[in-house]
Amino acid sequence: MAGFLTGVVVAVHFAALIYIGLGGFLAWRWPKSIFVHIFFAAWGVAINTVPGLLCPLTTAEDYLRAQRGLGPLPGGFNEYYIYDHLIPRSLLPVVAVVAVVLLVVSYVGVFVLWRRRRALVTQ
């Protein structure tokens, strides 16, 4: 059972990372979802910049791995699953810039659409 739950946590973790990167675009369709995305985006930035702050999903995965007799993820989730497996380390700065650009574009789009909807309501 712990193996299955570990897999679920890994899947949720990947989904959370995708949501952090692209979830702002969902707010173009569902404007109120921007508040959830702001929390996730801020949390994602904090996890990667504040020393000692642990991701609860990584903590859950480490706990489930311990239940299976395995050690914690060496270096954390990103280090174990993403760096050098999905994204070469040499491209990490480029990926970071692209992620920030996507976030800014999605938020600008949310603002523009919000203004447009608001203008239609006040007419």
* Cα(69)–Cα(79) distance, integer angstroms: 20
pTM of the model: 0.85
Model confidence pLDDT, tens digit, residues 80-111: 999 999 999 999 999 989 999 999 999 999 99
Spell out a b/e string for 61-86, using b for 16 or more CB atoms within 10 Å of the CB, else e.
Answer: bbebbeeeeeeebeebbbebbeeeee
Q: Is 40 exposed, middle or buried (0-12, 13-18, 19+ CB in 10 A)?
A: middle
Phi and psi angles of residue 87, each rounded to the nearest 5 degrees, phi first: -130, 120
pLDDT band at 51 (very low <50, low <70, confident <90, very high): very high
Task: Tell me the pLDDT of the chain averaged across its residues.
Answer: 92
